[in-house]
Structure 1
């Protein structure tokens, strides 16, 4: 589905992205790190963690279909 989405982009609405397990794995790893930080006494708050969160450039390119 993701490959069709990229190849035939004129037929798909890019407001909805089709991801695969690589993206999911990356995202869930980041979520686990943030969850551990939030539940640690003296850790940063969720609001602060989200404000500091930055996607790596290669992940952004992957979502846009520029990187395999």
Structure 2
């Protein structure tokens, strides 16, 4: 799987650099959001909702791509 490092913010405004796993092998920054299969935060794989928010079941934080 192809991965890249992206920045996300939680609902409190704290910014994190995390690993995103992509659906395709081509990294096009213009459509990066559409290619993210899941993000990995503290060993938890979090899949996006329809509006591209990522809600952690472990920490109850909601992440958004910056």
Pair in the same fold by TM > 0.5 = no
TM-score by length of structure 1 reads 0.25
Q: Which has the higher strand share?
A: 2
Q: Which has the higher helix share?
A: 1
Flag the structure with more relative contact order, 1 or 2, with Cα contacts below 8 A and sequence separation at least 6: 2
Higher CA-based Rg: 1
